[in-house]
Structure 1
Amino acid sequence: MSHEKSQSKYLNWTNILFFTINTSVSVVGTILLLMYGTIHSATWILAIITWFLFGMGGITVGYHRLFSHKTFKAKAPVRFILLLFGAGAFEGSALEWCTDHRDHHRYTDTDKDPYSIKGGFWYAHIGWIFTLDPSTRNYDNVKDLQDDWMCRFQHRFFVPIAILMAYLIPIAITCLWGSFWEGLLIAGLRIAALQQFTFCINSVCHMFGEKTYSTKQSARDNWFTALLTFGEGYHNFHHQFPLDYRNALRFYQFDPSKWTIYTLRCLGLASDLKRVSTAKRLRYKMQFDFNQIKAMKSNIGELVQPLYDKVSSQLLHIESLETAIKQLKKQNPFSANGKLSQYQAALSEKNQQLKAAHYELKYFIKSWNQVLANALRLNRKTALLDGVS
């Protein structure tokens, strides 16, 4: 495949020198400028704006949720602009970024994972970039993107586009208030910070945080990294449901990228927003909770098994009804012996069944949450007594 651990014997001096020089010069230069000069407030505002545009627009919404996972469709102008913003983040072309990321999801925590946490925190964070041999990329998993002329264009002319977006345009803007060096240093500082924030998803979110939907892989939810990456921190959810355009579900969870995509749809610039069904998500969540209960020292797992089976069966029933409704909607309304009324009756019946199933599910879920809370409370008491004894 395109990534093997043998790449650790290779040193990518282009990446090493760029990261080292850009980071050191921008950090030291900015400090010196603050000590012996001044940085206009307009320059800081420009840095924040480009951080949002290139970080949220280019990487999170563009490279990640649109091009890597295809969680939604976007109009051509939006796709083109997101590719420009992505180049401005200086994290490689869309083809490079997406082939690595798709391999990461397909081979998570294995030797074929390009930034596997099994290689250690440093390797997952940035070490893999320093040891990346570009010749190991074969792009077999991004042929769909290679068919897109915009992605091909951005890949072919990535360096000049990236320099234009990341450096030249910000410098040109700061020159309007007579400050070339402010534009250069703040642009470099923004690039360095944005790269480190992105890399935290590969390192921090695979080592620190909580697992909420699956323990089969190292991905974890980390609310702090979500603040730095425009919602990408809820990583356990993302690895379990990678085709969902959202990374966070709760109102208090920070995911502005989700709302950006939703806004694009409201403006007619995006469509086909994919989201995991509530029934499927709850089924995975319940399975995760039940596995936690079974791992406890007490025999609570045996006691709650009947309720777990009942709720799981109800969730599967809801999923089957949702699938049946989708299939009906795809049919020709006049296919039922040429009668529209029969089609409408069949669709109405399925919708009524689904509504009733959801109504019944509410009580099942309420009972399950009570059982889970009691089980966790009992487990804490048991652990406390064991510690005392």
Structure 2
Amino acid sequence: MKQTLFQAYLYSTLYLIVFCTGCQQTTEQEAAKTQVIAESSPEWSNLLLNKKGWIGADGIYCVPLNGVERPGEAQQTKTLFWFSDTIIGDIEDDSLQQGWEMVHNSIAYLTGGDPDKEKMDFFWAKDDDGKARSVFEPHTPEAQVNEYYWLGDGFFNHRLDSTIYIFAYRIRNLPEGAFPFEDVGVNLIAIPKGSQPPFNEQRQMDTPLFHIGKKGKSVFGINVLANTTGAGAPQPDGYIYVYGIRGTNKELLVARVEEELFEDFQAWTYWDGQSWNSSIDESAAITDRISNEMSVSFMEDGRVIAAFQVDTNSPSIAIQVAKTPIGPFFPFKKVYETPEIYEDIDFYTYNAKAHPHLSTPGELLISYNVNAFDFENKLYQHPNHCRPRFIRVKY
């Protein structure tokens, strides 16, 4: 009898140990599924590592040419990339050769969703003498001589004949300063269906999306979120959400317009914290400390996730989650520190953003820019430094 009781006790104890161990393993496995893990993505960073022709740029946005922004969809289409300040030249034995040129923007096409150099083609414009020129140059009624474009985000409009729209900031150079330039307006570029580079059929229009008011300077176009069926949004409402930035505290603002009314700026409304308002001056901040380029994209469950560089040019990349495109946002989480700032005392990093359709479900492919304060000297010392780098953030 004693042996039987002892055996029963032993078996029950072993069962509890095995059961609890199994529970612990299950708990650890479930916890691993929800952990936020950020790591560099050298295969995507190396996609932009070239020795001839296009050798660097310090701005990057992209759009799928079928307009489907849902993660995991890039294999089904081509992707149009656009870059801001771009370096054209040759590098031999890690030395930048004489005769290099700089233009204010360029583009590239990637076929499929893999970072394959053989499937990436770069383009820039040329003048009659064969010298490099920007693909997009200001020519609207409000544009002035010597202004140029810094490019913002864009999207594929399913309701307006598959037009691709790109926001473009009009920039003027300043005589001095750590950042010797200023933005003076926001234009909109419309690329019609089927147009090929250098996009001679493009249209450009001035917009009211650059505003200096009672709360400071507001600039819209830093991110576009298409909450539409065509874009593959999880809970589409038919609106295009366009995000902006305001003031030194880097406040995030949001406007929206129905997809088919995108060019009708009288139809745009701005979130004032309580409702949609026709006055841009009443725009309310939905979070802050973002970067001048950033992203807000959908998660699979319908929430949105923002990705940005904290305070624009710190080494910290952060993500931030909200239930809806207008917030409220939970506090941001710093997920990655950019190592390039330690490669040279003049290097800095900035303007992180996600590229949702190039991502896979449950993760974000995020790019960030690398540049140097002593730009030209560092370009000769590190000719490939000025180009976007990529990380993957699993959540």
Q: What TM-score, normalized to structure 2?
A: 0.21
Greater percentage in strand: 2
TM-score normalised according to structure 1 size:
0.21
